[in-house]
Amino acid sequence: MQRMVGKVALVTGGASGIGRATCEALVRENAFVVIADINEPGAKAFADALGARGAACVLDVADEASWERAIAFAIETFGRLDFVVNCAGIGVNGSFEDTSLEDWNRVMAVNLTGSFLGCKHGVKGIKQSDGGGAIVNICSIAGVAGVDDIAAYCASKGGVSLLTKAVALHCAKFKLGIRCNAVSPTYTDTAMLDDVAQQLGGRDVMRAGMAELVPLGRVAEAQDIANSILFLLSDEASMITGTNLMVDGGQTAGFVGRHAEQ
Secondary structure (3-state) at 158: helix
- Residue from 153, 168, 180, 230 carrying the catalytic annotation: 153
* Of 21, 68, 13, 75, nearest in space to 43 by CA: 13
Distance CA 90, CA 152 (A): 10
Which residue type occupies 258?
A: R
Enumerate residues 6+ apart whose C-beta is below 8 A from 49.
none
Our answer to whether residue 187 is catalytic in this structure is no
Which amino acid appears at position 254 of this protein?
A: G
Sign of CA dihedral 223, 227, 228, 230: positive
- Per DSSP, helices labelled H in 86-218 are 101-107, 114-127, 151-173, 194-200, 203-211
Report d(CA 210, CA 73) in Å as an integer.
40
Across 93-108, b (16+ Cβ under 10 Å) vs e yields beeeeebeeebeeebb
Q: At what angle do helices 222-233 and 17-28 cross, to 10 degrees?
A: 50
Distance in angstroms between the alpha carbons of the first and the last residue of the chain:
42
Q: How far apart are CA 65 and CA 220, in angstroms?
A: 34
Residues marked active site are found at 153
